[in-house]
Amino acid sequence: MSMKVNNDTSFRRMIREQGVTLVEFGASWCPPCKVLLPILEELDREYGERLSLLKVDCDASPEVAAEYGIMSMPTVIVFHNGEPVEKLVGLRPKSVYETLLSRYL
């Protein structure tokens, strides 16, 4: 499994109705986003099929970014059974994302 890049039209159908989806909202020009991506790729490898990992470029998908109130990048939102349940703004250590995911996996 790998991170899937989404846009305004595909975002809704990519969120798991059952299980956990982690969505990273960022931009290609954002330095903290570039640091976060390898961390998320590690999580993707470690959690495998238990986790769906999506990436949204806020410049390319402004409607989705606005809908979820993205004001700073990176922002990570965890969806559980199709509903947003946690939101982290800014770059955090890998352990923070692991702790967050452990609540839902």
Q: Which residues are catalytic?
A: 30, 33
Q: How far is CA 69 from CA 25, 32, 41, 88, in A?
A: 11, 19, 24, 12
CB atoms within 10 A of CB 13: 8
CA distance 52 to 70: 20
